[in-house]
Structure 1
Amino acid sequence: MSMLNITIDGQAVEMPVGSTILEAAKKVGIEIPTLCHLDMEKQFNQQAAACRICVVEVENRRNLAPACATPLMNNMVIKTDTPRVIEARKTVLHLMLSDHPLDCLTCEKAGNCKLQDLCYQYGIEETRFPGLRNDFPLDDTNEFYVRDLNKCVACRRCVQVCTKFQSTNAIGFGNRGFTTHPVAPFDRGMDASDCVSCGNCVSVCPVGALLPKNKEKYRSWEVKKTQTTCSYCGVGCQMNLLSKGNKVVGVEPLSGASNDGLLCVKGKFGFNFINHPDRLTTPLIRKDGELVKATWDEALDLVASKAKAIKAEFGSEAFAGLSSARVTNEENYLFQKMVRAGFGTNSVDHCARL
C-alpha cells in the first residue's frame, strides 16, 4: 500500500493514500471537532462536509479545509488550532445558534448534545448574529419519534444514514439558504414518507431535532449502559440498553461486525415489553383449568412426563420441533439434538425458513 508523509501540528505521520486529514489527526491523538461527520461513511469515500466545524489550515492553501473530507497529499503540512481556525469554528457555532432554540434546561438532549459540547468548548454563550428565526411546526406523525426542525443544524446526518445505509430515501433536503431543512416528500409529515421507523436518523442526530417518544424521560447522565446483543433475530446487532433505576428506558446502537452502528425498528424501539406488566416472570402450569405459578422444576417435570406419555401412545411421529432465530447457534443445535435424539423424529425446522 502506498504511503504518504505529512506533518500535522508539528508531528510527522505516515498515512495510506486515500486517508483524510481527520484520520491522520486521530492517529496521532489530535482532536478535531466534528458535527456532521459519520465514521461509517468511510466505506462510501464521501463525507457531507456540511458543518465546517472541522476546518483546518493547510500550508500553501488559501482557504480553510474541512478535515473530514480533504484527502491527504504527500508532504502536506496541517495546522489544526491556529487563531484563524479557532475563529472560523466560533463563527460557525454563532451562525448555528442564531437559529437554534436555547432551551437546554428542558431539552431531552442536554448533556448528550454535540452542539452544546462545542459551544462549551469554545466559550460560546449566545449568538452574535441575532435576528430572524425559523418557526417549523413540530412533526409527531411518526409512531416512534418526534421531529423538531427548529433545532436542526442542517448537518445532513439523518439524510446520509437514511439514503446510504438504510437505502430508504425517506427524506432529503429541501429549500435553499436560511430555510434549508430535511423534508419528507412534498414537505409533509413523516407518516406520508417511505420511512420504515428504523430510528437510525434518531441515533445519529447530534442535537435535539430527532428524539424518541419514550414513555420514561431521562437525562444522559442518569442512565446505566449495558452492552448486549439484540434478541429479535439472528443477525447479532450490538447495542447498549439504557436503564434508569430498574427500568430499560432506551436503546443506542453500537458498531458491531454485523450492524456497523445501525439497528432496525425492533432493535431501536422494541424494548417496552421488558417492563410490561403482563410479561411472564415465572413458569405457569394448568391446574383444575387455571394457570398457576410453579417452579422451574415443576414445569419441566410436567413437560417431560407429558412428552413421555404422548410418545408412548402415539409414537415419535407425533412430535415436531420449530426453533427460533432469537436464540444462539449453540441453543439451536441443542434443540435439534433434543428433538432428534430425545423425541426420535427428524421433523425439525427453523422459523427463518418459513
Structure 2
Amino acid sequence: MINTLAVEIPYWGQSIFRVVGGLVAVLLPAGGIVYLFLFKMMSFMQSRLGPMEAGPYGSMQLLAEVGKWLQKEDIQPDNADKTIFKMAPVVVLLSTFLLIVVVPFGPEAFFTDLDAGVFYFLAVGSVSVLGILMAGWSSANKYSLLGGLRAAGQLIAYELPMVLATLGVVIQAGSMNLQTIVVAQNTGEIFGWGGLGNPFILTQGVGFLIFMIAVQAELTQPPFDMPIAESELVSGYMTEYSGFRFLMFFIAEFATAGVFAFIASVMFLGGWGVPFDWFGWSNLDDVDWWMNIVGPLILTTKMFGLVLVIMWVRFSSPRFREDQLQTFAWKFLIPLSLANVAVTAILKVVF
C-alpha cells in the first residue's frame, strides 16, 4: 500500500502507519465481535435483548465496559510473583498483535510479506501458551495453577492438528507465503473453469474443519473451555486478575478469534481476493489498485462469517471432560489430519 502513495514516506512514518494499522486491524474487529456476537447474538439465542441503554441499541456498551474496567482497582495477591503476574496479560495480547502482521488485506495492503508466513503464524500463535502459564503459576492460587496447566496441555494437543491442517494448504499452493496462497485460490480453476477460482475449502474441506476445531480449542472457548471452567476453577488462570489486566485478557480472547478467522479466510476462502477471471486478471501484477480498498472489506466480511460459526458453537455446546478433550485431539483429529495430508500429497503428485 505504501508504494502506491504519491509521496515518499520516511521509515519512521511507515512504522507509525503500520502500528496504527495493526491497532485498527486487531481492536476494531474485536469490538465488532463483542457487540455483534457476545452482546447481541447470544442475547437473541436466549430470547432477550442484551444491552440497550448505552447508545443506540446498546452500541456504546463496549465503551462503557472498558471504562468500568479501567476504573477498577488493580489487585495483586500478596504471594504472587509480581513481575510475571504483570507480564502475563501483556504476553497474551502481544501474541495477537504479532499474528496480524502476516495477514494480507490486499495486493499491496499488508504489514509484511513473509515467504514463511504460515510457519510464522503457527510459531507466534504458540506464544500465548507461555502467557497463560505465566498467569497461572504467578498468581499463587491453586485454581489459577490448575487452569494454566490445563491450558498448556490443551493448547499443545490442539496445535498439532492445526499445523497438519495447514500443511494440506501449503502442499496444494506450493508455498508458505499467505499472499501466494490467496493468489493460488483466485487464479485456480475447477475442471477448467475459473468462475469461482479454486478456494481451498472445496479441496481441503477436512483440513478446514480440523483447523476451525483447533481454533476453537486454542481460544479456550466451549466446548474446550476447561482452562477457565467457571463451575470448577472460578475463572482458571484469570482468577486473580482485575481491572485493566483482566481487560487485556478479555480483549485478547476476542481479538485472537478475529485474527484466527482472518487467517482461516486467507487459507481456505480466498482471502481478500475474488476470482481473477471476473476482471481478466492473470496474476497479482494485473490486479487493479482499488482492490487495496475493497480487499480489506471482502476479507473482513469472510472473517465475521467464520467468527459467527465460532461463537455459535461457543454459545450452544456443553463442555468436554478433560479426558474427552485429550482423546478427541490425539485419537481422532491428529490421525484424520495425517490422512488428509497423505491424500493431498498423493493427489498433488498424480495431478
- Please say whether Structure 1 and Structure 2 have the same fold, judged by a TM-score greater than 0.5: no
Q: Of Structure 1 and Structure 2, which has the larger fraction of its residues in strand?
A: 1
- TM superposition score normalised by structure 2: 0.25
TM normalised by structure 1 equals 0.24
Larger radius of gyration: 1
Higher relative contact order (CA 8 A, sep 6+): 2
